[in-house]
Amino acid sequence: MAIRSEEATSRQLSQQELSQLVPRLPLLAGLSKEELPCLGTVELVEAPAGAVLFRQGESTPAFCIIIEGEVRAARREANGIETPLAAFRAGDSFGEAPILLGATTSGVQCEAAADTKMLRVSPEGFWGLMATCPTVRRGVLANAAQRIHSFQANTLHREKLISLGTLAAGLMHELNNPGAAARRSAAQLRENLARLQEISMRFCVLPLTQEQRTCLRDMQQEVLSLEKPKPVGSLEEADAEEELGAWLESLGVANSWKLAPTLVAAGWRREDIVCTQQAFPAATLQDALNWLEALISAMQQLSTIEESLSRVTELVIAVKKYAYEDKGGEHVTDIHESIQSTLTILGHKFRHKQLVIEKDFAPDLPRLTTRGTGLSQVWTNLLDNAIDAAPQGSKIRIRTWTEGELLCVGIADQGPGIAPEHREQIFQPFFTTKPSGIGTGLGLEIARRIVMAQYHGAIDFTSEPGHTEFVVKIPRNQASS
């Protein structure tokens, strides 16, 4: 069972050699000479710095104890990135986890970070060791428990970073849209103000009659009233633009094609500007209508800037709710607000697939009193999976209701469903049906862990082609739990 790398060598140790090494290794130091045979066949591995000791996905797992030197373990991701996992030094042991889990190949890549000597025990020898050496067994299990706890913490942290990265990208996308709209509107507003100033200066030179001043004043008051026109259909709007444009062109207005759409969009029709034809001669009618169009356009751009800034404010509020709902200690959470904040931040993903969100919220859903944290991450993971599963242009339904003292949330998509052979594994860590590099296989496992451990609730699902729904049920009041 020699190690494959040509840079590392291995040989079987005699009982005498082993007895000389045991006192130097904390895990084995408690063994007496009579207990040494419980280690079975032990190999001494010598590897220079840089030697590969275990190849990910190829090498057979083994239990190892380092005598001197250093070994570093890393996992190679599907995208080629290498993620460091741990470093083991003199006295440390490693390799028990894959054997305990029944793995047939190494799940990580292990390399010697310095010239290294270590003991290597085969899986068969490891199980014999665990069965016959209680002292060693206690040490191995203690190490395994500590590593599992550390692995879970790192996994949760990694998934949170992935989730935060996704949300940050989405937030930047959401902020970019209103920001770009406000920037465009500000540039157009500058042009309109320059036109207004230019036309106003020409009016100052011309002696306006009382009728002309009254016409301009009435139109200005109408524009500044801030009353939005009632929306009309596209066909009706096109007809109105064509009619107004033709009328303006008959009056000799040069840019009627530009004036008509702006006036119609603001709710103006031929009868609303007839005073300009009566009050202004042909020589100044063009200026009067251009002044009106510039004023309307300026107000429209101001409205766009206000709406864009309001959208930015809404996003900031949503992020604050998302970030601070999980404050420490006992707190009260509005589940509807929590879901809405997540929907706001994930809005770009819904729009990208043209998904319709149907919200069926119970109007009297009580608030949740809890000490739990991570609820937004539950919604993020469930909604993200629903988005990935949903066909383009389909619907995602979110509903809330109560069952006694339980607060219930259902998130359903119209995707192909979960295959029967996958349903038992759906909450297992690292299990995913998504293409390589798309899913981590951690989202549902972490969602279940948060729901169960933090909120003392349950999460389950029903699935058939065209309808998959994940249901979260949380006790309404478990702050004292």
Segments making up each domain of the chain, as ranges: 9-132, 169-309, 326-475
SS3 455: helix
Which of residues 385 and 325 earns the better pLDDT score? 385
| Chain center to CA of 412 | 18
pLDDT band at 462 (very low <50, low <70, confident <90, very high): very high
What is the pLDDT at residue 132? Answer: 83
Kindly tell me if the per-residue pLDDT of 416 is higher than 80: yes
Angstrom distance (rounded) from CA 281 to CA 201: 18
The tokens 């295959």 sit on which residue? 419
Q: Letter for the amino acid at 110?
A: C
Cα distances from 400 to residues 283, 298, 406, 444, 470, in angstroms, run 66, 44, 11, 20, 12
Q: Which of 260-264, 314-318, 392-396, 465-469 has the least mean pLDDT?
A: 314-318
SS3 41: coil
pLDDT band at 169 (very low <50, low <70, confident <90, very high): low
What is the pLDDT at residue 434? Answer: 62
What is the pLDDT at residue 114? Answer: 92
| Interval 419-448 mean pLDDT | 71
Q: How many CB atoms lie within 10 A of CB 99?
A: 21
What is the pLDDT at residue 237? Answer: 78
Kindly tell me if the per-residue pLDDT of 479 is higher than 60: no
Kindly tell me if the per-residue pLDDT of 230 is higher than 70: no
Angstrom distance (rounded) from CA 121 to CA 140: 13
Kindly tell me if the per-residue pLDDT of 197 is higher than 60: yes
Q: Letter for the amino acid at 359?
A: K
pLDDT band at 174 (very low <50, low <70, confident <90, very high): low
Kindly tell me if the per-residue pLDDT of 53 is higher than 90: yes
Angstrom distance (rounded) from CA 361 to CA 166: 26
Q: Read out DSSP for 202-266?
A: HHHHS---HHHHHHHHHHHHHHTT-PPPPP--HHHHHHHHHHHHHHHHHTT-TTHHHHHHHHHHT
Query: What's the DSSP call for residue 325?
Result: T
pLDDT band at 175 (very low <50, low <70, confident <90, very high): confident
H or E, element range at 369: strand 368-370
Q: How many CB atoms lie within 10 A of CB 251?
A: 14
How is residue 257 written in tokens? Answer: 């094609």
Angstrom distance (rounded) from CA 171 to CA 117: 50
> Which of these, 296, 164, 308, lies nearest to 227 by C-alpha position?
296
pLDDT band at 351 (very low <50, low <70, confident <90, very high): confident
| Interval 252-264 mean pLDDT | 83
How is residue 408 written in tokens? Answer: 């219930």
Angstrom distance (rounded) from CA 468 to CA 417: 6
> Which of these, 309, 357, 361, 311, lies nearest to 338 by C-alpha position?
361
pLDDT band at 39 (very low <50, low <70, confident <90, very high): confident
SS3 29: coil
Which of residues 1 and 389 earns the better pLDDT score? 389
| Interval 464-471 mean pLDDT | 95
> Which of these, 211, 286, 214, lies nearest to 251 by C-alpha position?
286
* Cβ contacts of 480 within 8 Å, gap of 6 or more: none
Max avg pLDDT among 26-30, 46-50, 81-85, 379-383: 46-50
What is the pLDDT at residue 115? Answer: 93
Beta bridge partners of 87: 72
What is the pLDDT at residue 168? Answer: 67
Q: How many CB atoms lie within 10 A of CB 117?
A: 15
What is the pLDDT at residue 386? Answer: 93
Q: Read out DSSP for 66-110?
A: EEESEEEEEEE-TTS-EEEEEEEETT-EE-HHHHHTT-SS-SSEE
End-to-end CA distance of the chain: 52
Angstrom distance (rounded) from CA 103 to CA 124: 13
SS3 30: coil
Angstrom distance (rounded) from CA 255 to CA 196: 16
| Interval 320-333 mean pLDDT | 66
What is the pLDDT at residue 322? Answer: 60
pLDDT band at 5 (very low <50, low <70, confident <90, very high): very low
Angstrom distance (rounded) from CA 46 to CA 51: 10
Burial tier of 409 (Cβ tally within 10 Å: 0-12, 13-18, 19+): buried
Angstrom distance (rounded) from CA 134 to CA 214: 102
What is the pLDDT at residue 1? Answer: 39
The verdict on domain 9-132 having CATH code 2.60.120.10 is: yes
Kindly tell me if the per-residue pLDDT of 89 is higher than 80: yes
Angstrom distance (rounded) from CA 84 to CA 108: 10
> Which of these, 325, 380, 328, 438, lies nearest to 160 by C-alpha position?
380
Cα distances from 473 to residues 127, 397, 410, 468, in angstroms, run 42, 17, 9, 16
| Interval 292-298 mean pLDDT | 87
What is the pLDDT at residue 219? Answer: 85
The verdict on domain 326-475 having CATH code 3.30.565.10 is: yes
Helix axes 134-205, 123-132, angle to 10 degrees: 120
Kindly tell me if the per-residue pLDDT of 41 is higher than 60: yes
Q: Which of 6-20, 297-311, 346-360 has the least mean pLDDT?
A: 297-311
pLDDT band at 297 (very low <50, low <70, confident <90, very high): confident
What is the pLDDT at residue 481? Answer: 46
Kindly tell me if the per-residue pLDDT of 62 is higher than 70: yes
pLDDT band at 279 (very low <50, low <70, confident <90, very high): confident
Using a pLDDT cut of 70, give the percent of the chain over it.
Answer: 84
Angstrom distance (rounded) from CA 325 to CA 367: 12
Kindly tell me if the per-residue pLDDT of 78 is higher than 80: no
What is the pLDDT at residue 4? Answer: 43
Which of residues 263 and 113 earns the better pLDDT score? 113
| Interval 299-307 mean pLDDT | 82
Angstrom distance (rounded) from CA 474 to CA 403: 10
